[in-house]
Structure 1
């Protein structure tokens, strides 16, 4: 039994369905495509994770996307010339379309022009000119690399994409402990109002990040982990510091950190 050929069969089926999807179905099918890579043979799965680590979505937004200037479809995209970086960037863009039904269409509306006002026609302009070539390039690339797994250590820790299993007890423990730290923060009278507001916002943002199917370690480090470490350091021994330390341990356990 050829596991890679089974993967390619699923790849061809799901990507073709995504390319033909209506806007109502696009997010769900995009999510299935991205989840497919997690089930792929190890060499392919780690290769895709490595590709995505090369060009995180924040870098795509900063370096690739040029916002439209008034006219529909006038946005520009400056994709990297390097094939691997381009594939990683485009995979991360696709991942960003998986959470909300209208995200892909709104992007297509801003970056692709269609003579028709039909939502699905606009969406298909995007899939035809962006994702169809990407899927062809990715298929050839993964076929060439089928026997060349990437060592996990080669994936930068700060940009590593972590799958979040919302059914695990460790997930509930992490969310509950962050909420506990937030309650302790509100009830602490020794922290200044400005610091309280800032940290409360960062804890809430961290919980929101963890509701996604996947998250980059850089995002968690920048928002949630930094806030919890600040609390545990500045309020060590106090109830707030203890709650923050408990939450930090739970988050790092969930994400496989140390």
Structure 2
């Protein structure tokens, strides 16, 4: 009787240990990035051993993630070239990846680490899957490490392009605000000043004159066009240069430079 009980207990214990040693496979997760998709399992997160997985499934899952990462790396290789035709599309892909890809990279790294402990790690395509996976993890993380700077630069370019497109309207509004319908030649009234993207500044006067100053150079006077002899005698360049020099610096229309806008009120 005691012998029978012992056998029953040992059988139950063996069954329990077997159940603990072999956990069910974690559920399949579906991930989409841009036009790419990959199905994978988070073995580490589920406290499951990838070595217990069906080898064909594990092969397919790791290969799918490798493929997605390869397409991401290749699909963002023109980020440093704003003139590339696909640059805007690649920026959007990077923005999407920044929000969702890090978790997938961590899971993939854990799965590859688990594969390295499996008895079949050197069989079939697994060696190449592991090698390529480690390579792609490094490349994808390097790309994500650049994302903050790349996205900030892209946002700045967009803001500067918008600023440039809206410049004529701002100039027209300023002219209508500060100039009379028939401005007198020689009055040297500045109605608008703008700093260009290259750093040079131009002061515009109601009578059509301008003062232009390239970055690091002295300002020069540009007289209005189509002046007759009598009007030309009224134009005194020093007055225009002085008016430009005295124009409030804070009122110069400047392009966005990526810095945070200054608060109108002092910080507490």
- When normalised by structure 2's length, the TM-score is 0.25
- The structure that is strand-richer by fraction is 2
- Greater per-residue helix proportion: 1
Larger Rg: 2
Higher RCO (Cα < 8 Å, 6 or more apart): 1
